[in-house]
């Protein structure tokens, strides 16, 4: 039995049949969209915390 690596790259979903350049582009797009979603979720939290910090 082989020991499985726990790195994200080894457990990532593959796109069989697509070239490596396309796969890198797809993953970079996914990361960019995730960053955008995180910033949209964080903006209201920052606004509330900054409002509470100022009397």
User: How far from 30 is each of 23, 27, 37, 53, CA to CA, in Å?
Assistant: 11, 5, 11, 34
From first to last of its 55 residues, what are the pLDDT tens digits of the chain? 444 544 455 445 666 788 999 999 999 999 999 999 999 999 999 889 888 877 6
| pTM > 0.85: yes or no | no
Q: Where are the alpha helices (DSSP H) in 1-55?
A: 8-11, 20-53
Closest CA to 40 of 32, 51, 28, 29: 32
Name the token pair of 51.
């409002």
pLDDT value of position 16: 76
d(CA 46, CA 14): 36
């Amino acid at each position: 039995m082989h020991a499985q690596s726990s790195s994200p790259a080894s457990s990532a979903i593959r796109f069989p049949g697509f070239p490596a350049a396309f796969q890198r582009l797809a993953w970079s797009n996914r990361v960019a969209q995730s960053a955008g979603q995180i910033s949209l979720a964080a903006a209201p939290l920052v606004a509330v915390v900054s409002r509470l910090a100022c009397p």
